[in-house]
Amino acid sequence: MTEENAKLLAIVQDGAVPAGYTKVWHLMPEEWKDVPLSYIFTKKNQKNKGNSVKTVFTNSAVNGIIPQSEYFEKDIANSENTEGYFVVDPLDYVYNPRISENAPYGPFKRNDTGITGIVSPLYTVLTPRKEFCESEFLHYYLESAQWHKYAYSIANYGARFDRMNITDDELMRLPIAWPSLAEQERIAEILMQCDKVIELKQKRIEEEKKKKIWLYRRILTGKTHLKGYETPWVETTIGEQVEYLVGYPFESASFLNDGIKLLRGSNVKRGNLSWGTDITAYWSEDSSISDYLCQEGDIVIAMDGAQVGRSFSRIGNNDLPCYLVQRVARLRSNINGLIVQWIGGSRFARHIDQRKTSTAIPHMTIKDILSYEISIPTDEKEIEHISQLLNQQDQFIDLLEKEMNELCNRKASLAKLLLTGIVRTKV
């Protein structure tokens, strides 16, 4: 960032409007236009007559517009009755009013699949005017948070808390900061370069995950010995190799805002623990329940929830001190480095899937965990070597994912600066 841009940003952060800029719903340079969505789009109401179009799209905040069969791994819509669905042609935009963590005002995505499909009438379909059909600037603008302030001003969640209720007229009045065509193209070019870097990082992550799967299938099962090791492996169960404990039934009405953290199922994610302020509670130190204090290296597994069988983590030093809460299982063993690799594999997840309850909130028992069959080397040095090898691969993948998250955050920050004109491009 140039010195000039840094000074400009400082002015904006102080809440002031710099010279040469104007503020409507958003900040923008004076030479940019403030245009409504209707300047760029027409609303599309084409219905799927005679069920002629068979591909049903979903509009995902993360994956964009993709066939429903790919997103859900099956078709959800009734293929025999989709006449009320809207037709979505290539380069049409779809607004999904369903809110989520990744799209707090609903995703606004372009159909880049190259095929024609249909979407639920709960969605809004927009066709860009001919001159804007291939505008990458528009694509990036609607993928950003630049329009969220306007959406917030008209927000109406209606009967459903997870869905925005925005009328067509309100949506078509959505204001967009519109620079010259040349500046649009330059902004889009910069953001596309960011996307290319992110894509390369994602490919590297996928490659390393495939490598981890190969290591898991060959080395962790004993099908391939590490060099220098030829001792036999034994068949056993997790229950035969660990000390286990299920958490204490702390009374939720007595949770505190400070003290020792309570490790609940909501804190256990796939491979890590989350201590967000919205999901973390505390308890005062109590010697009578000291057995429920976790130790570094412990494996903890959430026993309830949609991700049951996939929510697990090892306790790190930064997680301590914490008490184990009911419906969270703790495993403790001198081979936890190997046990956690078994827990993290897809075979364990399938094992739990076959045993968990099929109620609204899936549950598993401690017996389901302990009965899982594994193979382990009889040579302690081989156990240690395998644990180190797989752990190093996990750490490398974690590092790559952190780097990708940082790249995504940088792109989001840069997009905000470019799409508001706070940072200008050379044209």
- What digits encode the pLDDT tens for the residues 242-297? 999 999 999 999 999 999 999 999 999 999 999 988 889 999 999 999 999 999 99
> Can you tell me the distance from the alpha carbon of 187 to that of 172, in angstroms, rounded to the nearest whole number?
24
For residue 24, tell me if it sits in a domain.
no
In a domain, 1, yes or no: no
Distance CA 64, CA 107 (A): 8
Tell whether 7 is covered by a domain: no
Question: CA-to-CA distance for 106 and 174, rounded, in angstroms?
Answer: 14
Quote the pLDDT of residue 379. Answer: 92
* Terminal-residue alpha carbon distance, the chain: 17
Shared domain for 158 and 101, answered yes or no, is: yes
Which distant-in-sequence residues (6+ apart) come within 8 Å of 161 by Cβ?
Answer: none
Q: What is the pTM of this model?
A: 0.81
Alpha helices in 18-163 (DSSP H): 68-72, 136-143, 148-153
Domain boundary among 335, 360, 377: 377
Q: What is the mean pLDDT of residues 27-54?
A: 94
pLDDT at 11 exceeding the cut of 90: no
Span 311-346, pLDDT tens digits: 999 999 999 999 999 999 999 999 999 999 999 989
Number of helices and strands in the chain (H, E): 10, 21
Q: In this structure, how many other beta carbons lie within 10 angstroms of the beta carbon of residue 21?
A: 19
Round to whole Å and give the CA distance between 238 and 384.
Answer: 17
Q: Are residues 305 and 283 in the same domain?
A: yes
Nearest by Cα to 126 from 155, 154, 87: 87
The pLDDT confidence band at residue 362, using thresholds 50, 70 and 90, is very high
Q: What is the mean pLDDT of the chain?
A: 91
Per residue in 217-243, is it b (16+ CB within 10 Å) or e — as a string?
eebbebeebeeeeeeebeeeebbebbe
Residue where one domain finishes, among candidates 358, 377, 396 = 377
Please compute the mean of the pLDDT values over residues 201-215 and round it to a whole number.
Answer: 94
Residue 293: phi and psi, rounded to 5, are -75, 130
Decide if 325 contacts 263 (C-beta within 8 A). yes
Which CATH number covers residue 421?
1.10.287.1120
Are 274 and 358 within one domain? Answer: yes
Q: What are phi and psi of 260, to 5 degrees?
A: -90, 130
Per-residue pLDDT, 154: 83
Mark whether 365 and 268 lie in a shared domain. yes
293: amino acid identity, one letter: L
Integer Cα distance of 186 and 147 in angstroms? 20
DSSP class per residue in 66-88: EEHHHHHSS--S-TT--TTSEEE
Quick one: 242 and 222 in the same domain? no
**207 and 316, same domain (yes or no):** no
**More confidently predicted of 143 and 427:** 143
Model confidence band, residue 405 (pLDDT cutoffs 50, 70, 90):
very high
Flag whether pLDDT at 141 surpasses 70. Answer: yes
In a domain, 21, yes or no: no
User: Is 74 a residue whose pLDDT tops 70?
Assistant: no
Give the number of other Cβ atoms within 10 Å of residue 358's Cβ.
6
> Residue 209 sits in which domain range?
180-226+378-427
Q: How confident is the model at residue 80 (pLDDT cuts 50, 70, 90)?
A: low
Domain membership flag for residue 9: no
Angle, alpha carbons 275-281-282 (nearest 5°): 110
Q: Are residues 239 and 285 in the same domain?
A: yes
Give CA–CA dist 358/339, Å, rounded: 26
Please tell me whether residues 250 and 157 are part of one structural domain: no
20 domain residue, yes or no: no
Rounded to whole angstroms, the Cα distance separating 368 from 42 reads 55
- Whether residue 373 is contained in a domain is answered as yes
pLDDT for residue 160 = 56
Residue type, 122: L
Peptide bond into 67 cis (omega under 30): no
Instruction: State how many domains the chain has.
Output: 3
pLDDT at 48 over 60: yes
Using the 3D structure, point to which of 377, 394, 418 is the last residue of a domain.
Answer: 377
What's the confidence (pLDDT) of residue 158?
Answer: 52
Q: Is a pLDDT exceeding 50 seen at residue 16?
A: yes
Indicate whether 25 belongs to any domain.
Answer: no
CA distance 272 to 178: 42
Q: Which amino acid is at 225?
A: H
Cα radius of gyration rounded to whole Å, the chain: 26
370 and 400 housed in the same domain: no
The structure tokens listed for 334 are: 């001198």
* Cα–Cα distance measured from residue 427 to residue 253, given in angstroms and rounded to the nearest whole number: 61
Kindly report the CATH number assigned to the domain that includes residue 292: 3.90.220.20
Same domain? 173 vs 58: yes
The per-residue pLDDT for range 149-180, each reduced to its tens digit, is 898 888 765 545 677 888 889 999 999 999 99
Examine the domain organization and report whether 135 and 200 are in the same domain.
no
Residues 56 and 171 placed together within one structural domain of the fold? yes
Q: Which two tokens stand for residue 347?
A: 């075979």
